[in-house]
Amino acid sequence: MYQISTKTSANIPPLWLMDFDGTLKPFNAPVSYADISALKELKELGATRVVATGRSVQGFARDWAPALDIDYLISSSGLATSRFGPEGPGEILRSYAFTAAEANLAINIAVDLKFGFFLSLPPPQTHIFYYSPPILDPPPCFQARVSQYGLADSLWDGSREGPFGLVLIMTFPEDAPLAESYYRSFAPELSFVKSSSPYGDPAMWLEIYPPGVGKGPAAAALAESLGLGPADAVALGNDYNDESLLKWAQYPFLVESAPQSMLDLFERRLPPPPQGPLARALAHFRAEMGPEKDGA
């Protein structure tokens, strides 16, 4: 029997945190009806529903509709935490930005790597960014992002002043360890998150953040503000940038299409979207915590 420190009306965990792309949302398709229904059911049960995504607030809102009913949004892999209601984004409760010294360090390493990079403003303007073209051949997602956001006039020339919130580097998989080792060696105080490309190509993304940024730390801070903790939390994810979130929550679930190194870390598995992974997780708890198992 699960031990829940704060119960909903159905004796399920009261805090549900879900990655978006590849977990709730399939590539180039909407969130499934089954998962929309599960979000509604969780609301009726009194649970708090949180999307924890690598997207900016604006990037998430681009694919959001009122039927996707949630209470909070952890955006940019933990760079900001916001309220989120029926009208969309609300008050920012917590956010980070580089200091000038941290930004210079992150940018200088990115320049030395020659892979090119994107440089974002801090919340609430994380959707505004500049880019430095790579000297080496970039993966397809680099130009796709430039085209998608219309960045032709947003070249980084080193003259723009901060503050900044994020440095993003895109590499081919075989080059990702080099970029990661550079930041581990020369900027260990900065946070960095590795993720697969959301554009459907095999590229790896390395996102460099101010110290303390991550989905796990953001979830912990939000939970504390709600009087909850990891023992109260279910987390759903599918990629490297979900690792800290899944390790923090008492009940982690990983989508079966996750990278093998992630599958090696977590036992609870869910089908990929659009096969209703959230609905499947909720059904799992209903089966485990029915009246015959919780003593009701």
pLDDT digits (tens, 9 = 90+) for 43-55: 999 999 999 999 9
Structural domain contains residue 270:
yes
- Which pLDDT band, with edges at 50, 70 and 90, does 290 fall under? low
Q: What domain range includes position 60?
A: 15-95+214-294
pLDDT in the model for residue 7:
57
Higher pLDDT, 20 or 158: 20
Do 84 and 225 belong to one domain? yes
- Which pLDDT band, with edges at 50, 70 and 90, does 28 fall under? confident
pLDDT in the model for residue 8:
64
Which of 1-5, 125-129, 206-210 ranks highest by mean pLDDT? Answer: 206-210
Do 119 and 201 belong to one domain? yes
Burial of residue 150, with CB atoms counted within 10 A of its CB: 0-12 exposed, 13-18 middle, 19 or more buried: exposed
Do 104 and 84 belong to one domain? no
DSSP letter for 99, please: -
pLDDT in the model for residue 225:
97
Do 112 and 154 belong to one domain? yes
CATH of the domain at 172: 3.30.1240.10
CATH of the domain at 80: 3.40.50.1000
The last residue of one of the domains, among 209, 243, 261, is: 209
Do 68 and 134 belong to one domain? no
Q: Give the angle 124-81-85 at the CA atoms, nearest 5°.
A: 90
pLDDT of 267 > 60? The answer is yes
- Helix/strand/coil (H, E, C) string of 154-197? CECCCCCCCCCCEEEEEECHHHHHHHHHHHHHHCCCCEEEEEEC
pLDDT of 241 > 80? The answer is yes
Do 194 and 223 belong to one domain? no
The last residue of one of the domains, among 188, 209, 230, is: 209
Which helix (DSSP H) or strand (DSSP E) does residue 238 occupy?
none
pLDDT in the model for residue 220:
98
Q: What is the mean pLDDT of the chain?
A: 92
pLDDT of 4 > 60? The answer is no
pLDDT in the model for residue 149:
82
Q: Are 118 and 167 in contact (CB under 8 A)?
A: yes
Mean pLDDT of 173-202: 94
- Which pLDDT band, with edges at 50, 70 and 90, does 295 fall under? very low
Structural domain contains residue 6:
no
pLDDT of 190 > 80? The answer is yes
Domain count, the chain: 2
The last residue of one of the domains, among 191, 209, 227, is: 209
pLDDT in the model for residue 291:
46
Do 111 and 205 belong to one domain? yes
pLDDT digits (tens, 9 = 90+) for 218-239: 999 999 999 999 999 999 999 9
Give the Cα separation of 92 and 84 in Å (integer): 9
Pairing of strands 80-85, 48-52: unpaired
pLDDT of 276 > 90? The answer is yes
pLDDT of 37 > 60? The answer is yes
- Which pLDDT band, with edges at 50, 70 and 90, does 151 fall under? confident
pLDDT of 141 > 50? The answer is yes
